[in-house]
Every structure is written in structure tokens, then in C-alpha cells.
Amino acid sequence: MTGTEFEQITDKFVEWLDTVGIEVSKNVKIADSRSDHQGRCMVCVEDVKEGDQLFSVPNEALLNVTTGSLGEVSSEIKEALVSKVEHWEGLILTILYEWKYQGEKSKWWPYLKVLPEEFDTLIYWEDQELENLKPSLVLERLGIEESKAMYERVGELMREFKVEDKIGEVSYEEFQRVASWIMAYSFDKDISGGDDEEEEEQEEQEEAEHGDETPNSIATDGSIKCMIAVADILNSDTNLVNANIIYDDSGLICCATKDIKAGEQVYNIYGNHPNAEILRRYGYVEWNGSKYDFGEVTLDNILNTLSEKYNTSREVLDKAVDILREDEKVQELWDYEDVVLDNYDCYADGEIIPEAASVIQVLYVLLQSPENVAQLDEGNLTRLLQRIVKKCQQLLESGRVTQSVHEIWQLVVNKRLQMYPESKADQLSEDNIKATFSKSKSEQRKLMAWCVLECERKALTNCLDGVTKQFKLIDDEKLLKNVLKRPAESEPAGNGKRKSRIVKRPKKRANNDDD
């Protein structure tokens, strides 16, 4: 796109904002930041004070299934979009109808024109480009099969609503473009009127049942997925964020969260994401690292480390893990929390999630049992684990673990670090980054991959002493004598439910999507 075309599209968009009731402060303007590889952005033209309003958007200017023209085709379609169709599919179909059928006649056309045509999100990367991200676990979260399944469901809805003749054939590439718009820019606005505590409990329940991609409709969960025209202009930076979007019954407003000087850019935040997730969802990285970066050690790292250190077969450890995940008494002792996870986050500030220390403590004690754990039948092994979990849980609730947990954790983290390729930190200088963006798309993606790996490596390294930062260490023998003083057969079956007092690290959640 030429500079003139880019400016013309921007000018028409700015004119359009006023026609739909979006008010933008005279202290800011929409600017061209392509020279910094950021597309459009919002810049202050005058000094802005903390708390000043930057823009406001009424509900009718939010693009969603209730404001799009697809719902006007028939009352049946409108009802289905609100009460039956899942959030993602409904908004994708709504946008397709505006973009491919309404076209320039659409109320939203000037807005759709400013949305990007190309993305660097991971779903667009070639296989050889994704290789540069190994061993980051972000590769397990690409969602390619889920995307293809959603494409099929959208096609089924088009036929069900009898609009395929209007929209026409939708290629997978066109579907991907719309889905990427939603992934990068959509916000979930609550319309239920419920209190925050109830909403949080509901969200946690939905996550437990469905994972990140909650398949509920508007009617079932009281929120609505929206595209917000002027909010899309704001770039995001976890370290430079200086504005925040606030919702109310009439729509939303964006206010400065700190003083912003004239000439400075306005930054929102897309969520508390590490660079790996920023790249996956939005197609860019923060070159100096995200404020919320973390690496991950795997359960396999833990089990392999224990197997090697104590000359124990993986079969024994895998059997114990199955019991820890499935036994009801163990779950009661752990307050039904997921402790045995596939992966454990290691944050850039050096903190680890306490579940990692918990599972290491339990498995360490198990391997110190004077009994031959490999020879125990399932019943006796289960009772032994119940006793171990009970005693270890009491210890962790008091903020303590044994010395061996710290030592094993360091081995685990180092094992994970050994999986990473040689550091490319020297390639991440400002000059080299600028030079790379004048090269091929593949070279740009390689550099972004290196940045992700470097951020994860730093976070893992910072967490080598994570156990000692969060727990007081005690001598191993003190706990072992307490736990193993009775054989497993004599342990009572019932323990009662205990409320965990382990302080848990806040979940890494996005502000603007439920992908």
C-alpha cells in the first residue's frame, strides 16, 4: 500500500468515527508508525494528565452480533446469534457478512479498511520458521486443528442461515484473516450486570470446563465479543502501557493511567502475556522482553530428573502421577486444585508456581520410602501417597519444603535449559533488529523466535533459586521421619477436606480475548 493510500484510508476512518458517535480527544491523533513496524498508532499532540479521557465509544459503535447487519436479515438469525451461536463463530460470520456482502455499503466499511491484511501470528508461519521456536511450549498452542474445525462450523452456519449466496465462497485464507482480526483486537464486554466476584467465579468455572476457548453464547454467559474501532489503533506494550479501557452500561472510555507528554504514543495492554503468547496471538514481540515473561518446565522434566537421580523407573513415577491426579482423597487434600500439571510456569521475576514444589516434595518423599514402591499394589501405593500428600501439604501450607526440593528443582530447571539452543542474545541489538526488518519476512520471523527463546531462557535462569525465594528450607529427615514412621497399610483411608493456604500466582489472562 502506498503512503497516499494509507493516509486516505486513515482520513476516511477518522471522519467515520464521528458519524458513529465515537468521540476522540483533541489532545490525541491517529498517526502513521509504519517506520517503526507498528502500522497506525495514537499519539498525544498535547500533554495529557493522568485520568484524562482519550476517547469514548458508545455501545452502538461496538461491532458485534447485535449491531452487525446480519441479525437484520431475519428474527430467527438474530435470535440464534444471541442465544445459540458461539462467540467466535457468531462474530466471524457477522464480519464476513459486512466485509464480503455489504462491502462499501456497510456501516463498518471505513473501519474494516484500516484492519491489517497480513499477520505474523504463528498460525501463518511455515514449518521451517516454527522450528526456530523449539523448545518453546508455545508450539503446543498453535490451534491449527481447532481453526480448521471452526472454519467448517462457520460454513455450516452460512448454510443454516441461508446466506451463503450473499456472502459467497469463503476461502480458508479469508476466514483466517477475519479470525486473526478477532484474535488480535476483540474485547469481551460484560452485559449481564452481575458483580465482579460472581463474574470471576463464572469465568473460572468455564475455564475448568472448557479451557481457554469458552464455547458459550451471549445468553449463557452474559458477555459479548466486540470489535472496537478506535481501540484497535492503540499499540500494546507491557512496559510502556499508559492507558486503560473502562466499560460501563453505555459503552466504554479510554483514560490515561499516567501523564503522557506531547509526541508520546498511547499504549494499551492486550493482556498479561509473555512474549511467546504475544507472538502467537498478535504477531509481534517486545524486543526488550514482556513484563510478564515466563518459561516453562514440564512434568516430564521433573519425572526424568527424579528417575535419573534416584535410579527409579519412569513406570513407577507415572503410576504415582496417575494416582495423584485421579484419587479422590488426594484431591480433597489438595482442595481439588490441579497440582500435577503438564507444565509449570517460571516467571521472569524469579517466582515459580507453588504446585511445582508440591509435586516434587511428594514424589521425593515417595522415593525415600523404606518399602519397595515398585512392588506395592495399587491400593497400598494409593494409601502411602495419601499419607505423603497430607503431611507434605501441611508443610507447604506453613511455607516450608525440604532441602532436597530445592536441589531437585535446580536440576529440573537446568535440564530444561539444556533443551534450548545456543543463545542469540547478541543478535537482538537495536541496530540488528532495524536491519532485519529490511530483509525477508522469514528473517524477521527468525529474529522474533530468537527473542522469544531468549526471554524464556532468562526467566528459567532467574527461577533457579525459585524454591528458596518462596519457601523456607528444612532438613529432609525431619519430614521423612514424620511421614514414613508408619507403613502404608495402617494409614486410615479418610482424611477430610483441607483448605489450601498456598499463595497462588495470579493466572496469566488476557484483557481482550478468550482464545
Burial class (CB within 10 angstroms; exposed 0-12, middle 13-18, buried 19+) of 211: exposed
pLDDT tens-place string over residues 150-164: 999 999 999 999 999
Residue 172 scores a pLDDT above 70 = yes
Residue 201 has pLDDT above 60, yes or no: no
- Region 488-505: mean pLDDT is 44
Q: What is the pLDDT of residue 488?
A: 45
CA dist list (Å): 47 to 25, 44, 236, 262, 360: 12, 7, 20, 5, 53
Residue 325: per-residue pLDDT:
94
Alpha-carbon span 504 to 488, nearest angstrom: 30
Mean pLDDT calculated for residue range 269-287: 94
Confidence of residue 506 (pLDDT cuts 50, 70, 90): very low
pLDDT band of residue 37 (cuts 50, 70, 90) is confident
The reported pLDDT for the residue numbered 217 is 67
Tell me what pLDDT residue 437 has: 87
pLDDT given for residue 39 in this prediction? 85
> Does the structure show a pLDDT above 90 at 344?
yes
pLDDT computed for residue 442 by the predictor: 95
Confidence of residue 478 (pLDDT cuts 50, 70, 90): confident
Q: Taking the model in full, what pTM does it have?
A: 0.87
Question: The dihedral of CA 330, 336, 342, 347: what is its sign?
Answer: negative
DSSP 260: B
- In this prediction, residues 335-357 reach a mean pLDDT of 92
- Which pLDDT score, from 0 to 100, does residue 483 have? 83
Does residue 202 surpass a pLDDT of 60?
Answer: no
d(CA 364, CA 515): 36
What is the Rg, in whole angstroms, of the alpha carbon atoms belonging to the chain?
26
| Whole-number pLDDT of residue 193 | 63
| pLDDT value of position 428 | 94
Asked whether residue 197 carries a pLDDT value surpassing 50, the answer given is: no
Distance CA 166, CA 187 (A): 28
Residue scoring higher pLDDT (508 or 314): 314
**Is residue 466 classed as helix, strand or coil in its secondary structure?**
helix
Contacts made by residues 73-78, CB under 8 angstroms, sequence distance 24+: 73/161, 73/163, 77/161, 77/163
pLDDT more than 70, % of the chain:
88
Tens-digit pLDDT profile for residues 406-444 = 999 999 999 999 999 999 999 999 999 999 988 899 999
pLDDT in tens, 41-85: 999 999 999 999 999 999 999 999 999 999 999 999 999 999 999
Residues constituting the chain = 515
Q: Which residue(s) pair with 401 in the sheet? A: 473
* Cα–Cα distance, 103 to 309 (Å, whole number): 65
Residue 207's pLDDT band (cuts 50, 70, 90): very low
* Residue 1 banded pLDDT, cuts 50, 70, 90: low
Which of the four pLDDT bands, split at 50, 70 and 90, describes residue 8? very high
The pLDDT score that the predictor gives to residue 216 is 66
Calculate what percentage of the chain has a pLDDT beyond 90. Answer: 77
Among left, alpha and beta (phi > 0; psi -120 to 50; other), residue 15 is: alpha
Buried b (16+ CB within 10 A) or exposed e, 424-443: beeebeeeebeebeeeeeee
Residue 195 has pLDDT above 70, yes or no: no
Has residue 107 got a pLDDT over 90? yes
Q: Chain-wide mean pLDDT for the chain?
A: 89
Following DSSP, what letter does each residue of 263-285 receive, concatenated?
TPBPEE--BS--HHHHHHHHS--
User: What is the arithmetic mean of pLDDT over 178-190?
Assistant: 92
C-alpha cell at 155: 460454513
The answer on pLDDT for 140 being more than 80 is yes
| pLDDT for 255 beyond 60 | yes
Whether the link from the prior residue into 135 is cis, omega within 30° of 0, is yes
